[in-house]
Structure 1
Amino acid sequence: MDTALRPTPGELTYRDATAADVDALVALIESAYRGDSSRAGWTTEADILEGQRTDPQGVAAVIEKAESRLLAVERDGALVACCQLEHRGDHAYFGMFAVSPVLQGAGLGKEIIAEAERTARATWDVREMHMTVINAREDLIAWYERRGYRRTGKTTPFPYGDERFGIPQRDDLAFELLVKELG
């Protein structure tokens, strides 16, 4: 697999993450979703989940998995975002999306998701992208809907009791499937 991806217009560059990136990726993902640092951005889950969002083993597994890519997104050589792409038959799965909280709201997310969609089409010739979002994250779901994703109404239970996914502060959490036709 070619690890050098084409840069999009602007200052961002994309590459496949390596084992050497694991600690920085875990720190980025945690900062975007959990704890007080996540409150600097708008994607925080701190009010609905405590504990960890991911761990080094989980990030390393995504990097090492066949038919999977974890894109590291850099600006001026610094890691500012990441996202997972995984080939799943006739579609790609998009996950582990994190943008540094201090950079959220500046349009990076729109640029990164567009590049992820282009990469999935070019790499696996898929015509659809799937993702799951916690159903209580209405603001985040609305953001994805503005990017062309549609709610399917299909949900899977949140893994209550498995602290690898965090410690829920509510008892009504589930993952909702969102889908976008890539054309």
Structure 2
Amino acid sequence: MKPLRYRIANLNDVDNLISLINQAYRTNTGASWTSEQDIVAGDRINHQQLSKSLEKNNFHLFVTEILGNKHSDLVACIGLTFQQNAVEIGTFCVNSHWQNQGIGKQVLEYAEKRALEIFPAFNHYEMFVLDARTELIQYYERCGYLKTACTESYPIYENVGQPLIDLKLQHMTKSVIK
């Protein structure tokens, strides 16, 4: 595999990120195993939502590029939202054509490491995963995350797609090892 480069997303990345995120979450192409197209309709994110997120002081969105001969290709992104005692991981996706090659695991490990460098005072990572995505929950469990007793309603009010089945968000956490 070609080397990966990580950097903080900026407003110039918004259009490419919207394409990447919606492609990864809402289409079933390439080697995709993370698509939600059969359980959620509509876009995962739009220009206004992503731009607003990038303006937040407690949010960092990292992009991952595969370095090529003449240019780099955006293949993944992952967001970190810094809270009082936790870092929430979200906006995490890998282009479906690059899935099943270990990139997601590398991106998650990079984000966890960077979170500690940026904000060493927190004590756990957390994330919310659609409860119907059992294969994704199992993946995160293999990465050290545990399901909690907490579930939340699907956030229809946030305009992140319309559920096609009954969905909840499963809360997962991972303790920080320092």
TM-score between both structures, scaled by the size of structure 1? 0.89
Distance 1:65 1:132 in 2: 19
Could you say which residue in structure 2 is the equivalent of 1:5? none
Could you say which residue in structure 2 is the equivalent of 1:7? none
Aligned match of 1:144 in 140, 147, 152?
140
- Quick one: which amino acid aligns to residue 48 of structure 1? I
Could you say which residue in structure 1 is the equivalent of 2:57? 66
Offset of residue 85 of structure 1: 0.4
Is 1:166 matched up with 2:158? Answer: no
Q: Report % sequence identity.
A: 36
Q: Deviations over 1:101-124 (max 9, x none)?
A: 011010001111000000111101
Distance 2:80 2:44 in 1: 18
What count of residue pairs does the alignment treat as equivalent? 172
Query: Is contact 2:24-2:96 (8 Å) kept?
Result: yes
Aligned match of 1:176 in 156, 165, 170?
170
- Quick one: which amino acid aligns to residue 88 of structure 1? Q
Alignment gaps of 5+ in structure 2: none
Q: Deviations over 1:71-123 (max 9, x none)?
A: 01111121100010011111101000010101101000111100000011110
Alignment gaps of 5+ in structure 1: 1-9
Offset of residue 36 of structure 1: 4.3
Is 1:89 matched up with 2:84? Answer: yes
What does 1:11-160 align with in structure 2 at a 5 Å threshold?
Answer: 11-37=3-29, 40-76=31-67, 77-125=72-120, 126-160=122-156
Q: Deviations over 1:7-66 (max 9, x none)?
A: xxx6111111000000000000011011344x6400000110111111111111221101
TM-score between both structures, scaled by the size of structure 2? 0.92
Runs of 4+ in 1 over 3 A off after TM superposition: none
